[in-house]
Structure formats: structure tokens, C-alpha cells
Structure 1
């Protein structure tokens, strides 16, 4: 069995999408009409240095991921038994499974990026390597850092936390004293945490009129680490904004269902190293 996995923020770089824009001129034009600017210029040249701003990053990655997957489908190798996407990448997984059109997906992603990028007191994030989620939670509690959330469970020993910029800075010595590696991330906010509640509320109102089709292929939800239920797509996409990305459990679920072949769709590969560590951990349990 085979699964496609789609990367989210952090996979962007100037020059991305050069190999696919020319293959889908009609979709590129439609994207430009929706966004009000040239997506190709943003991705290839980034003349105004906006590519790393959340409100631009999210639609840029969505478009490049979508066109890249469409090229795979056109070549005859695009069919999968499962789809999954990390955070923003979940929109590409749902698009691939037929949940909505390219255009509607882009409208949702553009609003999502705008709302998440516009949250006041946006905060920051840090990746902790070398400790489990339980160990990180306990360390945060012992340090009195109760306003820091566990945001992304990327591998069994890499977890991303979200919180205020001050708390993220304070936490560094806490975890380095425990022997962990600590990397403050260059992101535009405390994503997948309670700090995104204003964006979640506004997005819930925005997404309400959209129609979601029955999925033709299972998509594993970030929020539940189980396949989406038809009728639950809008709920999961809204809740995803403040809920942690349960990536380890999502990959483990697909592996248990028999997935042995994995294809990452991303401007640059960021999920494949996570995948190897998760599969290695799963294999060691057997």
C-alpha cells in the first residue's frame, strides 16, 4: 500500500515550483485571480520578501504542493491508498482525495494564513529533540510554564512547543539542562496552540458556507490521527488551528494498515526524515 504525505510551513524556499508552474497555466492564472498577486513571482523571485510571512507562505505552499501532486497524477503515479498532510499540508491531502476544488482549497488556505498571521500576541515556537512528549509536558509543569502548549509531535523524540516569545525563550535553559537540543523556530506565531483561538473562531465563520465532497480515498486527520469521517472535514480543519499535529500517531496508523511505500510532496523534503524515525520506532516495537 502507498501513501502520499504533504508538507506544510517550513518547506518553502525562493525558487520553489519552478518545475510545475509552466505545466498548469490555467490553474496558475486562477490562483492569481483569487490571491490578487502573482503566485509564480512570489515563489520564484519573492521580490518583496514576503514568502516567509504566514499569509503568503501558506497559499504558496498549497499551490506548489497541489501542482506537484497533479503532475504525479498526470504521469500515472498519483493514486494512493492513503493521504495525509502536516498542518497546512492537510489541505493538499484533502484536495487530492476530492474534498474540494483547487480554487476552494486556495480560498480557505489564504484566509487561514491571513488569520493566523494576523493574531495579536502571536508568540513563537521551538523544536525540542531528545525527549518524549510526556517528558516535555512534565518539564514545562515543573518550570511553571503553564502557558506553553505541545504543538507538533513530529517524531517520538522531536516535539514542537508553542507559547509567548518570552516563555519560548525561558524554556530553552529548562530543556538544555535536561540534555535536549532546543531550536527556536523562525515562524510567525504560536501555531497549533491556544494562542490561535482568535484565528480559529474567525476561520470557523469563514468556512461555514463551503461544501465538502465525499472523500474517495482516506485522509488521516492531524487532530485525531485517524481517517476523516465524511461530514467532519470542516470541524477538523477548524479545530486543527489550535490542536496539536499528531504526526507520529498518523504515520503509525497508516503503517499498521499496511502502508509500506511513502511519497512526500513538498517544495523540499521535510517529512521524510520524520518518517524514517517513526517507522524505525514502530519496527522496534514489533
Structure 2
């Protein structure tokens, strides 16, 4: 089983050891995007990578190239695929849902729409189980705060209006959270504040040819295996819906998956998988 990381796993300088190895992919990426991916990743003096508009396509390229290198060296054939948020598009590409260029164009448009959706913030609540997180949300006096990701049984991501995410810190710590960590993102992703982006992106997906996955891919939106008739719908809904990572990992574990290979610039998913698999 191969899993692809999403935003948060990217960093300045990523891909340095990959770009010379895959010149044709890099040239195609530059053509699709209209700018140099190499320059974006390695010489980002303007700080463009802090924006989801640029971070998403850059991460898609680096993830796919990393997969190609791993497959070339290890001759792996994945039995299932999983991606966290943006990583789901890398998984869909590997499964044959779309080619490299089409996937990159989709991701670039996704990044543009999510960037244009406006400001917002996200935070991870760690050390509090899901029931306690929901209770704390119910008792929270403000508006504009939602669950954006079920990462592990004891790590839940929140998303919403910037001041609400910031002010909720003490509330969740008082409820018993061990830590409350602000995430380095530029918007309220996977929340209702992305509704306009979701609607427009659904139209983009409706005009894109998507093929049936030839390898099982788990949907972030449902925590179930993608079906060819709903893959466009679920990829679109994913923008404003929580990432059901815990359910996705539990589904694949229940299907007998025992080997979990993480693809991405940073090792972020493996510790979450280990925690999920160790939970009762």
C-alpha cells in the first residue's frame, strides 16, 4: 500500500535530488503551469510556496517524481493507494484516473480556487479523543470552527475563521487536549468556507475525462474505495469536507494491508498510521 502526503509535508528545497532525474516530467510540468517548478522549489525568493496556489502543484510534482524513483528502484506494484488531501490526486494519477499533466492542471486549478476562497486558519488538537473534540465544539461559544480532518483517534484537525481558530486554543486545552498546534497553511481548507471553491472545482472536474482506477484508491471524502461513477463528485467534495484519514487506514487494514509505504518530502503519515493501527 502506498500513501501520498499533502500540504504540510512540503518545504523549500524539496525535489532538489529529483529534477535532474526526470527532465521530461519537469519540462511538461513547466509547460502546464507556465512557470519553472525547479525555481519555485529551489529558489523561491518571493515566498510563493507559502501560498496554496503554488504549494499544491509543486507538491504534486515532487510526490509523483518520488513515486517514480521508488518504483524504479524497488519495482513495487501497489495493491492499494491512499493520499492525504492533495496527496489523493497523486494516488489517483498512479491509479490511472488521469495522466500526469491532467492531474497537475487539476491540482493547479484546485490551488487557485482554494487560495481565492479567502483567509482562514487550521489547527491540530492532539491528545483528545473524537467525542471530547465534538463536545468541546458544541460548548465553544464562537462561530466559524469545524472539524477538517480525523487524522488519528487522538489527533483532530480544526479549520475555520482565523480569529476563531486562534481563540479556541485555550478552550480545547481546558477540555483536556495535550497540545493545540497552529498549522502552516493559508486558508480554512476542508471546511464550509471552501464552498465556493468546491462548486467551481466540481465544474472543472465535470469537464475532465476521469478513468476508472485500475488500483483501489480510498476517498478522503468517504473513507471508502473510490468508484468510477462517484470519483469526480468525491474529489470535488473533498475541498470542503473533512479528511477521513483514520477511517481510510482502518479500511485498508481490514482488507489485509500490512505494508505502508509513505511517499512525500517529509515523513508525516507513517506516525499517524502507526497510531491508528495500535489503537483498540
Matched with 2:123 is 126
> Retained in 2: the 8 A contact 1:155–1:278?
yes
Gaps in structure 1 of 5+ consecutive residues: none
2:149 to 149, 152, 164: 152
1:26 to 24, 27, 30: 24
Offset at residue 226 of structure 1 (A): 0.8
- CA displacement 1:90-145 (0-9 Å, x = unmatched): 0000011110000000000000001101113x211111001122211211111223
What is the rounded CA distance, in whole Å, between the counterparts of 1:170 and 1:47 in structure 2? 32
Matched with 2:63 is 65
Matched with 2:263 is 265
> Retained in 1: the 8 A contact 2:126–2:156?
yes
Matched with 1:251 is 249
What is the rounded CA distance, in whole Å, between the counterparts of 1:214 and 1:246 in structure 2? 22
> Retained in 2: the 8 A contact 1:69–1:78?
no
TM-score if structure 1 supplies the norm length? 0.95
Matched with 2:176 is 179
Gaps in structure 2 of 5+ consecutive residues: none
Q: Which moved more, 1:37-46 or 1:249-258?
A: 37-46
SS at match of 1:159: strand
1:238 to 207, 228, 236: 236
What is the rounded CA distance, in whole Å, between the counterparts of 1:58 and 1:195 in structure 2? 18
Offset at residue 76 of structure 1 (A): 4.4
- CA displacement 1:197-236 (0-9 Å, x = unmatched): 0111111122221111121110011011111001221111
What is the rounded CA distance, in whole Å, between the counterparts of 2:54 and 2:144 in structure 1? 28
Offset at residue 18 of structure 1 (A): 1.5
Offset at residue 47 of structure 1 (A): 2.5
SS at match of 2:48: coil
- After TM superposition, where is structure 1 displaced by more than 4 Å over at least 4 residues in a row? none
How many aligned positions are there? Answer: 279
TM-score if structure 2 supplies the norm length? 0.97
SS at match of 2:65: helix
Offset at residue 179 of structure 1 (A): 2.8
SS at match of 1:128: strand
Matched, 1:10 2:8: yes
Matched with 1:216 is 214
Matched with 1:164 is 161
SS at match of 1:150: strand
SS at match of 1:241: helix
What is the rounded CA distance, in whole Å, between the counterparts of 1:212 and 1:76 in structure 2? 28
SS at match of 1:57: helix
- Over the residues paired in the alignment, what is the CA RMSD in angstroms? 1.1
- CA displacement 1:11-61 (0-9 Å, x = unmatched): 011111122211111110110011111001111222221112100000000
What is the rounded CA distance, in whole Å, between the counterparts of 2:192 and 2:54 in structure 1? 22
What is the rounded CA distance, in whole Å, between the counterparts of 1:50 and 1:79 in structure 2? 35
Q: Which moved more, 1:82-91 or 1:23-32?
A: 23-32
What is the rounded CA distance, in whole Å, between the counterparts of 1:126 and 1:139 in structure 2? 14
